[in-house]
Amino acid sequence: MRSGNCTLQTLSNATHVRDNPYPKEIDAFKWDMNFPLIRDNSKCIKCMRCVQVCDHMQTLHVWDVLNPGPHNFIGTRENKPICDLNCSLCGQCITHCPVGALTARDDIDKVQQAIADPNVTTVVQIAPAIRTAYGEAFGLKPEEATVQRLATILHHMGFDYVFDTSFSADLTIMEESSEFLEFMKTKKPNDMPLFTSCCPGWVRFAKSEYPELLGQLSTSKSPQQMFGAVTKTWWAKNHDLTPEQVVSVSIMPCVAKKSEAAMPSMTRTDGTPDVDYVLTTREMNRMMKSEFIEPLNFPESQLDDPLGIATGAGMIFGSTGGVMEAALRTGYYFVNHEKPDADTFKAARGEDGLKEVNTELNGVPVHALVVSGLGNTRRLIEDLKAGRRHADFVEVMACPGGCVGGGGQPIHDGCEMAGYRAPTLYKLDRQTKLRCSYENPSIKTVYKEYLTAPLSPLAEELLHTEHVA
């Protein structure tokens, strides 16, 4: 899976090392191949990067050196089954592995079967951070790797409808901003803040490390899941389709999104999941390569209506700080009934692991924090719990730099790519006429025709969830 993008393979080729003279060690553990993260120790070169990233960057200690001595190997802590450990599925061990020993579960076959099935309609959503990264595997410049070009390619590959997760990011903002304003009505200065919950790596971390905080997480579902919920109800009904006739696929920069889609709480009462399959950016790129697609041979085309329409606020979600900035833009409108200058909350931007935005909503001071990386998150939570810091609203992203640096993105050995990719999202935001989620015409339509208003009973039923350990 890493052929052509493997440092060991490159070095072996350069030094004419053609075979492995060492006896193959017996793999000491059986891997659960249904788990979204896969370890293949026959490829491991024991560089210990996964151990370092998990210990120091993410503070989860999932990997360890086992069997000390000449037959040591890297495995899970205490050689436990991976699903019994506190893995957040951030996928940072995958993007930092110099060979192909760590990968994400491959779900391409299931998606290709759905595309080939004449009895179902396939709908694909493209996450905000994909537009910053898919072209890297093809040598495209950021301005060439547009989401409009990707829309043409995905149609060519057989998807019936191509939509944008940034649309449902706008929907998440409508719900989450409303939820935050309600939260502020009763919050006391020293109470714990409201935390965003769109990053499933962070939600998994909260469940395993800080279950006492789960009641502080926003109940608004992530954009991926809101997209699925709206597609299988309102959109399907408008197209005379039942939920079973729709296969909903997402392209995500993230490994944890595979587990989010499979959570029982994200399955509808009729038993069908809101999102059927999640492919990472790397899987989508492999699908494209397997069909010999050269992206520059494909013209740009508009994403499909109405779930392909997004504002700049929905696009910046893919970078650390983007969710907070989007939420404050709409929160400002909700309390002041006037459009904010879209750059008012730009303190949320940048690659720092912890950022502050101090503002006022309706005369009430709001202290917002933005954190990315789970080690930074752990330090912040300890500070909040000890009263060394206070906040009203906190955005958390498990991956350093946010989804642009996600564990499902293309791998560039030894390079941290988030700072290179994020400017593309902010450029798109600046170039977009509508930069606040409440301005999205499709969002207005879905509330008018179906949901009525943010936090309405139907919105609560479809778009909100409870976080339980």
Give residues in contact with ligand SF4 (CB under 6 A): 90, 199-202, 253-254, 256-257, 397-399, 402-403, 406-407
Give the nearest distance from C-beta 238 to ligand HC1 in angstroms: 22
Cα separation, 398 vs 406, in Å, equals 8
Q: Please identify which residue in 206, 252, 342, 418 interacts with ligand HC1, judged by CB under 6 A.
A: 252
Token pair in block for residue 215: 């009641």
Q: Which is nearer to ligand HC1, 127 or 384 (CB)?
A: 127
Q: Which is nearer to ligand SF4, 331 or 406 (CB)?
A: 406
Binding-site partner at residue 295 among ligand HC1, ligand SF4, none, CB < 5 to 8 Å by type: none
Cα separation, 301 vs 200, in Å, equals 31
Binding-site partner at residue 273 among ligand HC1, ligand SF4, none, CB < 5 to 8 Å by type: none
Which residue intervals of 15-137 are DSSP H helices? 49-52, 92-96, 108-116
Give the nearest distance from C-beta 202 to ligand SF4 in angstroms: 6
Binding-site partner at residue 169 among ligand SF4, ligand HC1, none, CB < 5 to 8 Å by type: ligand HC1
Angle at 201 between CA 59 and CA 286, to 5 degrees: 110
Give the nearest distance from C-beta 253 to ligand SF4 in angstroms: 5
Q: Which is nearer to ligand SF4, 105 or 390 (CB)?
A: 105
> Which residue pairs, CB below 8 angstroms and at least 24 apart, start in 229-232?
229/268, 229/274, 229/462, 229/463, 230/168, 230/171, 230/307, 230/446, 230/450, 230/462, 230/463, 231/123, 231/125, 231/163, 231/274, 231/307, 232/268, 232/272, 232/274
Give the nearest distance from C-beta 359 to ligand HC1 in angstroms: 21
Cα separation, 146 vs 295, in Å, equals 10
The reply on whether position 370 binds ligand HC1 by CB under 6 A is: no
If we measure between CA atoms, which residue out of 70, 331, 280 comes closest to residue 177?
Answer: 331
The reply on whether position 224 binds ligand HC1 by CB under 6 A is: yes
Is the distance from CB of 332 to CB of 366 less than 8 angstroms? no
If we measure between CA atoms, which residue out of 45, 56, 60, 55 comes closest to residue 102?
Answer: 45
If we measure between CA atoms, which residue out of 240, 305, 239 comes closest to residue 441?
Answer: 305
The reply on whether position 261 binds ligand HC1 by CB under 6 A is: no
Cα separation, 204 vs 245, in Å, equals 31
Is the distance from CB of 125 to CB of 98 less than 8 angstroms? no
Binding-site partner at residue 216 among ligand SF4, ligand HC1, none, CB < 5 to 8 Å by type: none
Binding-site partner at residue 201 among ligand SF4, ligand HC1, none, CB < 5 to 8 Å by type: ligand SF4
Q: Which is nearer to ligand HC1, 127 or 249 (CB)?
A: 127
Token pair in block for residue 151: 């829309």
Q: Which is nearer to ligand SF4, 126 or 254 (CB)?
A: 254
Q: Please identify which residue in 75, 100, 128, 405 interacts with ligand HC1, judged by CB under 6 A.
A: 128
Q: What is the per-residue binding string for ligand HC1 in 178-217, x denoting contact by CB under 6 A?
A: --------------------xx------------------
Query: What is the total count of residues that contact ligand HC1 (CB under 6 A)?
Result: 20
Q: Please identify which residue in 317, 345, 426, 438 interacts with ligand HC1, judged by CB under 6 A.
A: 317
The reply on whether position 129 binds ligand HC1 by CB under 6 A is: yes
Q: Please identify which residue in 91, 253, 401, 407 interacts with ligand HC1, judged by CB under 6 A.
A: 253
Give the nearest distance from C-beta 154 to ligand HC1 in angstroms: 16
DSSP state of 374: H
Give the nearest distance from C-beta 188 to ligand SF4 in angstroms: 30
CA distances from 347 to 59, 343, 353, 356 (A): 27, 9, 13, 7
Pairing of strands 37-39, 102-104: antiparallel
Q: Taking CB positions, which residue lies at the least distance from ligand HC1?
A: 403
Is the distance from CB of 404 to CB of 319 less than 8 angstroms? yes
Q: Which SS3 state, helix, strand or coil, does residue 25 take?
A: coil
Residues that bind ligand HC1 (CB under 6 A): 127-129, 165-166, 169, 198-199, 222-224, 252-254, 257, 317-318, 402-403, 406
